[in-house]
Structure 1
Amino acid sequence: MRAPLALAVAAIALIACNDGGAPSDPAPVPTQSTTPTASPTSGGLPFQTAAVATFDSPWAMTFLPDARMLVTQKAGQMLLVSADGKTKTPVAGTPAVDSEGQGALMDVVLAPGFAQNRLVYFSASIAGPGGKGVALWRGRLADTGGTARLENVTELFRATPFVDGDGHYSGRIAFAPDGQHLFFTNGERQKLDPAQDPKATLGKVLRLTLDGRPAGDPALTQKGFHPAVWSYGHRNLLGLAFDPAGNLWEQEMGPQGGDEINLIVAGRNYGYPKVSNGDHYDGRPIPDHAPGDGFEAPKVWWNPSISPGGLIVYTGDAFPQWKGDVFVGGLSSEALIRVDVNGTSATKGDQFPMGNRIREVEQGPDGAIYVLEDGEGGRLLKLTPKA
Structure 2
Amino acid sequence: MKNRKGFALGLLFSLAIISTDGLAQNYRSEHHTFTLETVATGLRHPWSIAFLPDNEILISERSGILRRMVDGRLLSDPVSGLPDITASGQGGLLDLALHPDFAVNRWLYFSYSHGNAQGLTTRVARGRYESGELTNVEIVFEALPRLPGGRHFGSRLTFDPQGYLYVTVGDRGQETRAQQLDSHMGTTVRLHDDGRVPQDNPFVGQSGARPEIFTYGNRNGQGLFTHPLTGDIWQNEHGPRGGDEVNIIRAGLNYGWPKVTYGINYNGTPITDLTEAEGIEPPLLHWTPSIAPADMTYYNGTVFPEWQGDIFVGALVGQKVQRLRFAGTELVEQEDLLTQFNARIRDIQTGPDGTLWLITDEPNGRLIRLMPI
TM-score under structure 2 normalisation? 0.90
Residue 134 of structure 2 is aligned to residue 160 of structure 1: no
Query: How far did residue 83 of structure 1 move?
Result: 3.8
Residue 204 of structure 2 is aligned to residue 221 of structure 1: yes
* Matching residue's letter, 1:335: K
Match of 2:281 among 293, 296, 304: 296
Report the 3-state secondary structure (helix = DSSP H, G, I; strand = E; otherwise coil) of the residue aligned with 1:321. Answer: helix
Measured on the aligned residues, the alpha-carbon RMSD in Å equals: 1.9
Partner of 2:302: 317
Match of 1:106 among 68, 71, 94: 94
Partners of 1:257 and 1:290 lie apart in 2 by 12
Residue 245 of structure 2 is aligned to residue 264 of structure 1: no
Query: How far did residue 260 of structure 1 move?
Result: 0.9
Deviates most, 313-322 or 159-168: 313-322
Partner of 2:354: 367
* Matching residue's letter, 2:152: H
Where do 1:57-96 residues align within 5 Å? Answer: 57-96=45-84
Deviates most, 351-360 or 79-88: 79-88
Partner of 1:279: 264
Residue 103 of structure 2 is aligned to residue 122 of structure 1: no
Instruction: Say whether the 8 Å CA contact 2:153–2:220 is kept in structure 1.
Output: yes
Residue 115 of structure 2 is aligned to residue 138 of structure 1: no
Query: Compared with structure 1, are the counterparts of its residues 211 and 165 closer, same or farther at alpha carbon in structure 2 (3 Å cutoff)?
Result: same
Query: Compared with structure 1, are the counterparts of its residues 254 and 348 closer, same or farther at alpha carbon in structure 2 (3 Å cutoff)?
Result: farther
Report the 3-state secondary structure (helix = DSSP H, G, I; strand = E; otherwise coil) of the residue aligned with 1:227. Answer: coil
What is the count of residue pairs matched by the alignment?
Answer: 354
Query: Compared with structure 1, are the counterparts of its residues 124 and 271 closer, same or farther at alpha carbon in structure 2 (3 Å cutoff)?
Result: same
Query: Compared with structure 1, are the counterparts of its residues 341 and 85 closer, same or farther at alpha carbon in structure 2 (3 Å cutoff)?
Result: farther
Partner of 1:32: 6
Q: Between the two proteins, what is the percent identity of the paired residues?
A: 36
Q: Which runs of 5+ in 1 are unaligned?
A: 1-27
Instruction: Say whether the 8 Å CA contact 1:70–1:81 is kept in structure 2.
Output: yes
Question: Relative contact order (C-alpha < 8 Å, sep 6+): which is higher?
Answer: 1
Residue 166 of structure 2 is aligned to residue 188 of structure 1: no
Partner of 1:150: 134
Q: Which runs of 5+ in 2 are unaligned?
A: 19-26
Partners of 2:284 and 2:96 lie apart in 1 by 26
Partner of 2:217: 233
* Matching residue's letter, 1:260: E
Partners of 1:226 and 1:252 lie apart in 2 by 21
Partners of 1:293 and 1:42 lie apart in 2 by 45
Residue 34 of structure 2 is aligned to residue 47 of structure 1: yes
Query: How far did residue 85 of structure 1 move?
Result: 3.4
Partners of 2:39 and 2:273 lie apart in 1 by 42
Partners of 1:291 and 1:137 lie apart in 2 by 36
Partners of 1:216 and 1:312 lie apart in 2 by 29
Query: How far did residue 79 of structure 1 move?
Result: 1.3
Instruction: Say whether the 8 Å CA contact 2:291–2:318 is kept in structure 1.
Output: yes
Partner of 1:340: 325
Query: How far did residue 291 of structure 1 move?
Result: 5.2
Instruction: Say whether the 8 Å CA contact 1:334–1:357 is kept in structure 2.
Output: yes
